[in-house]
Amino acid sequence: MDKLLNDLMAIVGTEGMLLGEDVSQRSVDWFTGAPCRAKAIVRPRSTEQLSQVLALCYQADQPVVTHGGMTGIVHGGEAAPDELVISLERMNRIEEVDPVGSTIQVQAGVTLQHVQEAAEEIDMQFPLDLGARGSCTIGGNIATNAGGIRVIRYGMMRQQVLGLEAVLSDGTVVSSLNKMLKNNAGYDLKQLFIGSEGTLGIVTRAVLRLQPRMPSEQTALVAVPSFDALTQLLGLVSHELGLSAFEALWNNHYKLMTTESGKHMPLLADDSPFYAIIETLGLDETRDAEYFSQILQKALEAGLITDAVLANSSSQRQGIWAIREDIEVLVKELKPMFSYDVSLPIPHMEAYVETLEQDLEAQWPETGKMVVFGHLGDGNLHIMITVRDDSPESRRQVEQLVYSPLKEYGGSVSAEHGIGLEKRDYLNISRSSEEIALMKRMKIALDPKGLLNPGKVVALD
């Protein structure tokens, strides 16, 4: 073992360092299970240990890659054989829950689900929610500025963070564990780290905002006859209901998840062009349920929906959400799968998807297949494509089809998953050269030796 690893082990202990097979057995890619190639995984227990670890790495010019729950899907956790992984998995404590101030203070390695459960214990809620909730960590959610299914009501991770602590590449600890809603004392430094994908500092602790728990939850799956009806439906339910989620499923997605794969019960016939999952949160179960079905009736009469199924138990609710969230079905059915997460103004979505379908069909008439779903209210589409070939050339060609039109629409190559390595070459579609130049200046200012998550988000050379 080289001297640096020995010195690091002296800080974190033998339990805190993984080598050899313990490293390669871990995956860096949720979709493919590709193994971790780093030379070691260092697992500090505290901010102090991490600070000492990074100070030594800084002296030794040792690059590091941070790992949270490893559910990120843009190759942000990929590590080269000469890089070290820093895993936050042993920093997973909930440090303080404050029902009066409506805050929770946690270490960055705690899972999202653990935080949600801790909030429920005091009859509150932590509203960020996404399919990977059981594995993804708060540090990863902050580093990627995660979105998920309730952004329409509560915003992204950025809106949930009141304060945070981060360690810079030279080991400096910047502790800004603010608990107040209002604090305009100079620059809001936490914003530097939110969404920076581990390239500017490693997040170690955070103070998060809790929200009042909403005991009444109404959920429906509806069939929608056209894209125009889908947008009108979104308008109607946004104005009339306490909307917390509005997830659109194109017919190709619904059909694959239900009748084609046989994995989920087709709760509605599979011949509608669009489907939507509508969810509201409120305070009065009886009144909310009644009002919810009245609004859906109104939508039916206006021709905005043609059929609907309303959940009246939590297992029915889970059945509806499983159609949207069971990504494993897609991974299996569309193998090898390319996954995209784009955003664009809602009025352009239909034309964008239609053109993409036609281009795919023209280039891969035999093998091309795509499914589309997403957080419609946020302008966010998830597009899963297979051409039954994952060669770099095919990947590149499909990326061109997906990303190139976004510039014209003023869209983004990353709505919520981040840039990582996967989308770095396409950053200029969504950001100007001045913006990218400023990102590079910020990277150099905070991480002058380029040791944190090298090559992710922006390339310095």
For binding to ligand FAD (CB under 6 A), which residues are involved?
30, 65-73, 76-77, 88, 108, 130-132, 136-137, 139-141, 143-144, 146-148, 197-198, 202-203, 327, 416-417, 420, 453, 456
CB of 388 vs ligand FAD, minimal distance in Å: 22
Residues 6+ away with beta carbon under 8 Å from 279: 149, 217, 218, 219, 220, 243, 244, 245, 246
Residue facing ligand FAD at closest CB distance: 140
CB of 365 vs ligand FAD, minimal distance in Å: 30
CB of 139 vs ligand FAD, minimal distance in Å: 2
226 exposure class (CB count in 10 Å sphere: 0-12, 13-18, 19+):
middle
Three-state SS at 117: helix
Please tell me the distance from the alpha carbon of residue 197 to that of residue 203, in angstroms, as a whole number: 10
Which residue reads 């890659």 in tokens?
65
The tokens for 342 are: 């784009």
Residue closer to ligand FAD, measured from CB, 288 or 341: 341
CB of 129 vs ligand FAD, minimal distance in Å: 8
Residue closer to ligand FAD, measured from CB, 17 or 384: 384
CB of 157 vs ligand FAD, minimal distance in Å: 7
CB of 74 vs ligand FAD, minimal distance in Å: 8
- Residue 9, H or E segment: helix 3-12
Q: Nearest Cα to 340, choosing from 432, 229, 429?
A: 429
Residue closer to ligand FAD, measured from CB, 68 or 242: 68
Residue closer to ligand FAD, measured from CB, 139 or 163: 139
Residue closer to ligand FAD, measured from CB, 130 or 230: 130
What values do phi and psi take at 227, rounded to 5? -70, -35
Three-state SS at 63: coil
Residue closer to ligand FAD, measured from CB, 66 or 103: 66
Residue closer to ligand FAD, measured from CB, 76 or 411: 76
CB of 375 vs ligand FAD, minimal distance in Å: 7
Count of H-run helices and E-run strands, the chain: 17, 18
Q: Tell me how many degrees the CA angle 369-372-376 measures, rounded to the nearest 5.
A: 170
Residue closer to ligand FAD, measured from CB, 258 or 343: 343
Q: How far is CA 167 from the centre of its chain?
A: 23
Q: Nearest Cα to 408, choosing from 345, 360, 340?
A: 345
The one-character DSSP state at 324 is H
CB of 99 vs ligand FAD, minimal distance in Å: 26
Q: What DSSP string runs through 179-225?
A: --S---SS--THHHHTTSTTSS-EEEEEEEE-EE---EEEEEEEEES
Residue closer to ligand FAD, measured from CB, 191 or 404: 191
CB of 362 vs ligand FAD, minimal distance in Å: 30
**How far, CA to CA in Å, does 264 sit from each of 63, 225, 269?**
44, 22, 13
- Residue 41, H or E segment: strand 40-42
CB of 419 vs ligand FAD, minimal distance in Å: 9
Given a contact cutoff of 8 angstroms between Cβ atoms, the answer to whether 277 and 150 are in contact is: no
Residue closer to ligand FAD, measured from CB, 70 or 248: 70
